[in-house]
Amino acid sequence: MLNEGQHVVALVRDEQKLSDIKSENMTIVEADLTDDFRHAFKGCSTVVFVAGSGGNTGADKTILIDLWAACRAVDYAKQHDIKHFIMVSSIGADAPAEGPEEMQPYLVAKHMADEHLMHSGLRYSIIRPGTLTNNKAHNGFTTQRPSNKDEAIITRADVAKALAYCVAHQAKSNTVKELFNGAKHLDEVMS
């Protein structure tokens, strides 16, 4: 988003995590998602919620971050008249009971947060990426879930590109899309 000249308000728990990024177009707001963070929304028109508790935390952090903080972010967005809310969810959030047992608390949290956003009255885009990888950007996309679970993947870099696309091309209607690496351009799968 910074590369595209957009002004970005970055909410982080520790501003040192962004010390390597320097831009006149970035404002860093230091806050903890388990506390009140509504002040981060002031002056914003779009919210991109990408926070997650991470794979090494327990169910308590999953509930506090992936569910509770996400729902509060939606509520804060309504208070600040946000025009577009973009949520990073997860493949399987549509049917948590069908996911692997060890993933079900996470999928339930994502499901409930998505539902809260869908019923909020806000304009939204929900992105449900496949399994995330740290590989180099593939630059190809599909919204059709591969039948082979090992192919239901997407790079973090490609998810970031999709989020930047959503910010730059505000949705005309509410959307929920699964997203994987594939062979199509972003404008083919996101419009």
Give residue 55's pLDDT: 64
Residue 95's CATH number = 3.40.50.720
Structural domains of the chain, count: 1
Give residue 52's pLDDT: 87
Does residue 105 lie in a domain region?
Answer: yes
Does residue 38 lie in a domain region?
Answer: no
Q: Which of 77, 85, 48, 80 is nearest to 164 (CA)?
A: 48
Does residue 70 lie in a domain region?
Answer: yes
Domain membership of residue 98 as a residue range: 44-190
Give residue 4's pLDDT: 87
Does residue 19 lie in a domain region?
Answer: no
pLDDT band, very low/low/confident/very high, at 140 (cuts 50, 70, 90): very high
Rg (CA), the chain: 16
Does residue 29 lie in a domain region?
Answer: no
Catalytic residues: 106
Give the dihedral sign, CA 140/143/149/153.
Answer: positive
Does residue 12 lie in a domain region?
Answer: no
Q: Which of 116, 96, 115 is nearest to 105 (CA)?
A: 96
Query: Whole-number mean pLDDT of the chain?
Result: 94
Does residue 21 lie in a domain region?
Answer: no
Give residue 152's pLDDT: 96
Q: Is the pLDDT of residue 133 over 80?
A: yes
Q: Is the pLDDT of residue 54 over 80?
A: no
Does residue 34 lie in a domain region?
Answer: no
